[in-house]
Amino acid sequence: MNLKRVYADFKVYRREYLRNRLGLFFALAFPVIFILLFGAIFSGAGSSSVAVYVQNLDANSNVSAAFIQSLNSTGVLNVKVVDISGNLSNYLLSHSLSNGIVIPRGFASDYENGKSVNVTVYTDPADSTSGIVLGAVSGVINGFNLKRVGASPVVGLNSATVNAHSTKYIDFLVPGLIGFSILTSPMFSMVNVTAEYKKFKRFKQLSLTPLTKGEWLVSKVIWYTILSFAAFVLMVFFGTAVFGANLRLSLIIIPFLIAGPTLFISLGMLVGIVTKSIESAGVIGNIITFPMMFLSGTFFPISTMPHFLQLVARFLPLYYVIAGLNDVMVFSNISTAYYNLAVTVAIAAVIFVLAARLFKWKEK
Amino acid sequence: MASAIIVDGLEKSYGTKKAVNCISFNVNQGEIFSLLGPNGAGKTTTVEILEGLRERDAGRIEVLGMDPWRQGYELHKRIGVIPQGFSFFDKQKPVEAIQYYAELFGVKVSAQKILEKVILEEAADTVFEDLSGGQRQKLGLALALVNDPEVLFLDEPTTGLDPQARRNLWNVIQGLKEGGRTVLLTTHYLEEAELLADKVAIMNHGEIMTSGTPEEIVSKYGSGKKIVIKGGEGVYSAIVRSGISGAFRNDNGEVSVPVRDRRDIISLVTSIESAGVTWGDIRTEEDSLEDVFVKLVGGTMDEGELRSKGVREGNSP
Ligand SMILES: Nc1ncnc2c1ncn2[C@@H]1O[C@H](COP(=O)(O)OP(=O)(O)O)[C@@H](O)[C@H]1O
Ligand SMILES: [Mg+2]
């Protein structure tokens, strides 16, 4: 390995890449556009309160006011009192809202007289928040019942989230889009580069110089590693500065930013090598890249996907890169990060060896 | 003189297709040697084997005393190549390309000087995709020269260029010889081989039909000198009656007669004169390399380009 030759080849590749602009767009501009777009669209998600629309037919009573107050102080519900004369369920329907509560007329007097009275809760079973609403409302009702008979609760509740801090969508989006860049920029260009070099006999031509196959490969690994670091810095910057993402950084991220690009350089080369034309290489490349792009936790956390797709994801190399980055940056779970790193490195090694084997400078 | 390239009984097949069928030739140091043949003759295959890019099936070859397939890495430092259909990275300028090659070879060169040598200074800062066809080939030549090679392989360097660009490149190639370099040039332009090469090997269907200097080839396979006389039936019968053999009447009212000796001309003219027939212009003619090529390859010439008739009909000399 002659580092001067690696550097000479690196300079030419970098120049070609920067002057082409398209590659740079995929590697850096695309993820930035995505983080701004998705970050803005979903910035509300992840905050844990659920909007509930309350129609109070027992207005001006202390009890109904206290009931609403209690709903609010659960912290899970974001209570919005609507002042309408008509039917609440029609109102919800016509405004595309899922959750509503009707406090009936005479609620206060029935409560004080110990007469049974029902609060009506509207939920949409198809909406994942319905359970939260039902649970929170029945909790409040329980409290009121206990108070009415003068009892105090025996079993209390200490609330805590699984994480030390609560995670938001943007926290997942940052590692996801770093993964996106690690996947797409080497894949799209290496598929093309390999097929094109083959067609225009560039590999043959290079084999007439002292540059070796290994040196050529290393220069590509260096370039895409630099791009993945750049994508990392950009995503972390926009994530935290614009959307207040809460991320942890650790040195163990670095091997992901090297092994990841190496994996997808090799995979891209493999596609370019085994296909017959530039066109078919592009098609096969897309068939591999696109599902991986959507199913590996790039735009949405894997845990929000159906069970079946979560299983599929485990067969996609990008899954381990993003899972590992999530382990470090979102969950601070270094031991599982090591596991995901090991899987990433193992896949990268296998594909790298395969590509390097099949990749011929010369023909027989 | 020492041989820079030795080829002895070289064979190469692609599957069942025999691309090179037991060819032999030698190229002396400092010589421009041309493999001349139509498309599909096996020129590129031969050249790529000599460059160490392809493995041969059989035969002995040596380039600068080395086996190209096994000692390719060493050999490549001492040869320069323009592959057929040379292309480079779209966004690189000739200066940058030369610098790249210099760094790969670990040599210090003046890009400017090399560009001057191939007459490409005016395009030094034009990216490859914006270069003309002729300029691209000149860049190929420039890159082939970076490591100051002893042997140059130029595979169809002028194919696809317009006549002016081609002539321009010929000047450059002629200049290379001055440095004492050995050049192996493949072409399907007869004119190119005739003009540039010290020795020519005519190749077709994987075989070398003949080789030597253009003059040697013409004198070996050409029909020799002929006298062509304008005149009709009368002239023809006068010649036949006088006992001179080999006379031939062309369609265009000319009679051609092969001559072996200058004195044949005198006896010929005397016999026509004494027969009292009218005759017009008289001139001598000789086969060109083109005539020989057509004879050997059974091909045609098309705008200066050699074309083989039918690809699979066996053409043995
Ligand atoms: N890689 C290859 N695979 C199969 N056949 C080939 C290959 N390269 C060349 N050929 C065939 O071998 C013959 C000689 O080709 P080539 O050496 O390129 O001739 P030339 O350079 O004189 O045009 C042709 O019939 C061509 O089709
Ligand atoms: Mg050829």
Q: What residues of A are in the B interface, CB distance below 8 Å?
A: 2, 4-5, 7-9, 11-12, 15-16, 19-20, 200-202, 204-205, 207-211, 362-364
Q: Are residues A217 and A347 in the same domain?
A: yes
Inter-chain touch B104–A208, beta carbons under 8 Å: no
On whether both A220 and A316 belong to a single domain, the answer is yes
Put simply, the answer to whether A362 touches B103 (Cβ < 8 Å) is: no
Domain extent for A9:
3-43+164-358
Which of A12, A211, A363 is the closest to B89 by Cβ?
A: A12
For residues A95 and A243, state if they share a domain.
no
Which residues in chain A belong to E strands, given as ranges? 50-56, 77-81, 100-103, 120-122
The arithmetic mean of pLDDT across residues A339-347, rounded, is 97
Residue at a domain's end among A148, A176, A210: A148
Which residues on adjacent β-strands are paired with residue B199?
B33
- The answer on A80 and A19 residing in a single domain is no
pLDDT tens-digit map of B250-268: 777 888 888 877 777 888 8
Mean of the per-residue pLDDT values of chain B: 88
Q: Which of A59-68, A123-132, A162-171, A344-353 has the highest mean pLDDT?
A: A344-353
Residues of A in contact with B79 (CB under 8 A): 208
Specify whether the CB–CB gap between B223 and B258 falls below 8 A: yes
Tell me the mean pLDDT in the region B268-273.
84
Q: Look at residues B317, B309, B253 and name the one whose alpha carbon lies nearest to residue B280.
A: B253
pLDDT confidence tier of residue A227, bands split at 50, 70 and 90: very high
* Confidence (pLDDT) at B314: 39
Cβ contact B83–A204 (<8 Å): yes
Cβ atoms B150, B64 nearer than 8 A: yes
A156 occurs within a structural domain? no
Determine which residue's CA is closest to atom 3 belonging to ligand 1. Answer: B14
Residues above pLDDT 90, as percent of chain A: 51
CATH number at residue A140: 3.40.1710.10
Answer yes or no: is the C-beta of B39 below 6 A from any ligand 1 atom: yes
Look at chain A and report how many structural domains it folds into.
2
Judgement on whether residues A191 and A325 belong to the same structural domain of the protein: yes
Task: Pick the last residue of a domain from A148, A177, A209.
Answer: A148
The whole-angstrom separation of Cα B68 and Cα B63 is: 7
Is a pLDDT exceeding 90 seen at residue B196? yes
Mean pLDDT of chain A: 89
Statement: residue B206 has pLDDT above 60: yes
Q: pLDDT at position B275, please?
A: 83
**Which residue from B138, B267, B41 is spatially nearest to B257, judged by alpha carbons?**
B267
What's the CATH code, domain B3-213? 3.40.50.300
Q: Which residues pair with B60 in a beta bridge?
A: B8
Most confident of A78-92, A183-197, B23-37, B292-306: B23-37
| A124-141 as b/e: b if 16+ CB within 10 A | beeeebbebbeebbeebb
Instruction: Provide the token pair at A186.
Output: 């080497």
Q: What is the pLDDT of residue B315?
A: 40
Q: Give me A225's structure tokens.
A: 């590693």
Tell me what the mean pLDDT of segment B239-249 comes to: 82
Task: Quote the tokens at residue A111.
Answer: 């409560």
User: Where is pLDDT greater, at B304 or A204?
Assistant: A204
A297-333 pLDDT, tens digit per residue, is 998 888 888 899 999 999 999 999 999 999 999 999 9
pLDDT at A253 over 80: yes
Residue A155 lies in a domain: no
My answer on whether A122 and A212 are in the same domain is no
Co-location of A222 and A111 in the same domain:
no
Cα A194 from chain centroid (whole Å): 31
Report residue B298's pLDDT band, with 50, 70 and 90 as the boundaries: confident
What's the confidence (pLDDT) of residue B317?
37
What tens digit of pLDDT does each residue of B77-122 get? 999 999 999 999 999 999 999 999 999 999 999 999 999 999 999 9
Domain B225-285 - what CATH class?
alpha beta
Q: Where are the domains of chain B?
A: 3-213, 225-285
Tally of CB atoms within 10 A around A37: 10
Do A324 and A205 fall into the same domain?
yes
**Does residue A137 share a domain with residue A240?**
no
In a domain, A154, yes or no: no
Report helix angle A253-274 to A213-243, nearest 10.
130
Mean pLDDT highest for which of A36-40, A188-192, B99-103, B175-179?
B99-103
Whole-number Å distance, alpha carbon A174 to ligand 1 midpoint, is: 52
Q: A91, A123, A148: which is the final residue of a domain?
A: A148
Confirm or reject: Cβ of B21 under 6 Å from ligand 1.
no
Q: What is the pLDDT of residues B122-151, one digit of tens each?
A: 999 999 999 999 999 999 999 999 999 999
Q: What percent of chain A has pLDDT over 70?
A: 94
Most informative mutation of B13, B17, B188 for ligand 1 (most atoms within 8 A of CB): B17
Do A189 and A215 lie in one domain? The reply is yes
Ranking A70-74, A118-122, B135-139 by mean pLDDT, the lowest is A70-74
Would you say A71 and A136 are in contact if contact means Cβ atoms under 8 Å apart? yes
Rounded percentage of chain B residues whose pLDDT exceeds 70: 94
pLDDT tens digits for A9-60?
999 999 999 998 888 888 899 999 999 999 888 765 555 678 899 999 998 8
Res B313 pLDDT > 80: no
A364 domain-assigned: no
Determine how many CB atoms are found less than 10 A away from the CB of residue B107. Answer: 12
Residue A186 lies in a domain: yes
Is residue A90 assigned to a domain?
yes
Instruction: Please state, for a pLDDT cut of 90, what percent of chain B lies above it.
Output: 60
Question: Same domain for A251 and A189?
Answer: yes
Q: Are residues A108 and A222 in the same domain?
A: no
Q: What are phi and psi of B152, to 5 degrees?
A: -115, 135
Ligand nearest to the backbone CA of B35:
1
User: How much distance in Å is there from the Cα of B105 to the middle of ligand 1?
Assistant: 30
| Full-model pTM | 0.77
